Amino acid sequence: MKYNVNIYRDENGVPHIEAEDQVGVYWGMGYVHGKDRGLQMLLMRILGDGRLSELLDSSDSSLEIDKFFRKMNWAGEIEEELTKLTEFEHNIMDAYCDGSNTAFTEKTPWEFKLMGYKPEPWQKKDIVLISRMAGYLTLSQSQDEIEKLLVEMIQEGVTKEMLNELFPDILGEMDIALLKKVKLAERFVPKSVIWDIAIPRMMASNNWVISGNKTANKKPLFANDPHLEVNRIPNVWCEIVAKIKDDYIIGATMPGTSAFIIGRNNNLSWGATYAFMDSIDSWVEDCKDGKYKRGNEYKKFKTRTEIIKRKKKQDVKITFYENEHGVLDGNPNETGFYLATKWSAAKSGVITVRNFIKMWDASTVEEGMEFLGQVESFWSWVLADNNGNIGFQMSGLMPKRRDGISGFVPIPGWIKENDWQGMHSYKDLPRVYNPEKGFFVTANQDLNKYGNVNPSTMPMGSYRADRINDILSKGNNFTKEDVFKMHFDVYSIQAELFMKILNPLLPKTSQGEILKNWDYKYNQDSEAAYLFEEFYKALYKEVFGKEGMGENVIDYMASETGVFIDFYQNFDKILLSKGSIWFNGITQEELFKKVAETSLKISPKRWGDTRKVIFKNILFDEKLPKILGFDKGPFSLKGGRATIHQGQIYKSANRLTTFSPSFRTVTDFEKNETYTTIAGGPSDRRFSKWYSSGLEDWYNGNYKTIKAESNIKNKI
């Protein structure tokens, strides 16, 4: 098929696509992704297919990565999904693939040539695969991890009373005796990290929308800054402008998928944060002889055998056991109780693609809520239109569970009533249209009160949302410059709450004096922010380590996982309470004073000096000499865990990772333009001028203006 498409770059390197119709737009999107982000696309597909050992690296760590992706099986059962496509949707996806393959034909990423890998053509199934991966990794994955952690805590002797206080209102029908019998093939906290029981261990975002009643020009203002791993090049997002005559979309896309995930058109703006919906459940399966119990009989598991090929090494054969509750974590031929785990969006993809395509024609907030609400992965969307309307809509496949079951606790799989009973309608999920207060904020907090169902069991803390709400409720006549400033706000409500308790208990030392005069801001030169963080870490280690789970476990959870980044609200509720069973008989005042006296003896440091990270090439990962320029930095991340500008650093799978604004975007409906910063550049080609062209502006808060029509046209 021939596509009449013109593609050029503006002065910032952002690709612009001019086409006669939507099919041409998506051919152009595929071409841009293949040209600018081919390495990123192909590497994601290799990972998703579980072929890293076969095609790139046959190390033992690569084998474990392949095992994980083969277990998830996101590449499976896609052909059946594709039969749901309309002819128009087929044409869109075919065009995207044609564009990508045209780019790959012109030039395959040289990195893969060095490794002897010749990419197969991009196909529609690959779009669905990447969509599934994006919906799970770090987002839904964190929910699965915290639920596995619950089982480990039970098995290591943490009492029911302590668990009820840490996980309030979501432990209905928890059978401790049964969960103690479960054999865990994979542990969230490895056994090498010793559990020491002294007494019987997410990717976040902000978006908000302000109605014209509270803006200077009486037009709505929209803001979004998805918090993802930023210490990688290229950036997750790829900015694109697409035009058909006078219609346009300016937006952020994800290479490999045919969607404007965050964006604006002539009439409507939309953006997302992660919803922290509980979309993953585990069931306890009673297994023997390769079978699982149902009623009074045992049924055979469906087996799936995967062959993982390894470069210059022997193939590895692995068998997975599956039933209606997902994939079993263990071998049912060995008698015992095991967990089977299921993710509600594991077989999704096509409906999501369909509704993102519809966003081209969406012109009102109500239409946008209708389309984005049907996206199968788990997001909190805020929207604004040029008629002055604003709105919020949560999306995602939320399972229908029987009464009394939250989805957080593994339950017996042999009881039929414990099965999912379909999915809730998006219209029952949290949603708001034209809120009376004139603005709406989502920042991964608990939004259950806005719906007819309760999708979140373990949301993030509300501190960031509280700070944004506080600023917006107290102000009027907001401008885009005010929103830019809010994106970089580093005031911590969390620190303010803790310091109200700590302040009168501070030691009469220079360190105590620094903290006493703190403004609760995580500025780069703040010594108080550093001292507070040392106190905070010592506090949760004292309470949940010495008196609960063991210090080694808490150290591991804090440094090697996202538990205290994703789910710190649950821990904070205990730490901020006047009395808790976790305090082991002492008062809150005694606890804070004791921890302050020991933890604040350290020498102060500037907060920024402790936050430096290198932005590493996604493939070479700092293995090449710095002089070659594949890696950039170091950059010192601004803010903390509970500030609007989040800046978190921790390890995941032995690799340093981060949570920080990967992309910032603001829309003011006064003009047909958008204002953005991005942690990187348009291209993943190291020797392109656009490789990291936006990094300094992103760091310094200099927003570029992206217009639907650019006067500067450079051939891509």
Domain boundaries, the chain: 211-276+349-487
**Choice among 177-186, 283-292, 455-464, 541-550 with the minimum mean pLDDT:** 541-550
CB neighbours of 628 closer than 8 A, spacing ≥ 6? Answer: 686
pTM: 0.94
Identify the weakest region by mean pLDDT among 474-483, 514-523, 650-659. 650-659
Per-residue model confidence (pLDDT) at position 446: 96
Tokens 């590895």 appear where?
Answer: 316
Decide which of 191 and 443 is more confident. 443
Q: How high does pLDDT run on average in the chain? A: 92
Q: For residue 711, is pLDDT > 60? A: yes
> For 235-246, how does the pLDDT look when each residue is reduced to its tens digit (9 = 90+)?
999 999 999 999
- Average pLDDT in the 463-482 region? 97
In the prediction, which pLDDT does 566 show? 75
The CATH homologous superfamily to which domain 211-276+349-487 belongs is: Aminohydrolase, N-terminal nucleophile (Ntn) domain (3.60.20.10)
> 416: how many CB neighbours lie within 10 A of its CB?
9
pLDDT at 712: 78
d(CA 652, CA 76): 26
Res. 554: pLDDT tops 90: no
> What integer pLDDT is reported at residue 199 of this predicted model?
30
Tell whether the model's pLDDT for residue 146 goes beyond 90: no
Chain segment 408-451, per-residue pLDDT in tens: 999 999 999 999 999 999 999 999 999 999 999 999 999 999 99
Percent of the chain predicted with pLDDT > 70 = 96
Spatial CB neighbours of 678, under 8 Å, sequence gap ≥ 6: 235, 237, 239, 662, 663, 664, 694, 698
Please report which confidence band the pLDDT of residue 548 belongs to, taking 50, 70 and 90 as the band edges: low
pLDDT given for residue 195 in this prediction? 37
**Which residue(s) pair with 632 in the sheet?**
615
> What CA–CA distance (Å, rounded) separates 425 from 373?
9
Q: Is the pLDDT of residue 197 over 50?
A: no
> Hey, what are 39's tokens?
């390495």
Residue 547 has a pLDDT of: 59
List Cβ neighbours of 539 (8 Å cut-off, separation of 6 or more): 575, 591, 592, 595, 599
Can you name the residues that pair with 208 across neighbouring β-strands? 223, 441
Whole-number pLDDT of residue 198: 30
Q: What pLDDT is stored for residue 365 in this prediction?
A: 98
pLDDT digit string, tens, across residues 262-278: 999 999 999 999 999 99
pLDDT by residue (tens digit) across 293-348? Answer: 998 899 999 999 999 999 999 999 999 999 999 999 999 999 999 999 999 999 99
Residue 144 — very low, low, confident or very high, per pLDDT cuts 50/70/90?
confident
Which of 264, 219, 220 lies closest to 243 in space, CA to CA? 264
Taking only the tens place, the pLDDT of each residue in 673-706 is: 999 999 999 999 999 999 999 999 999 999 999 9
Q: Cis ω on the peptide bond leading into residue 682 (within 30° of 0)?
A: no
Residue 371 has pLDDT above 90, yes or no: yes
pLDDT reading at 188 higher than 60: no
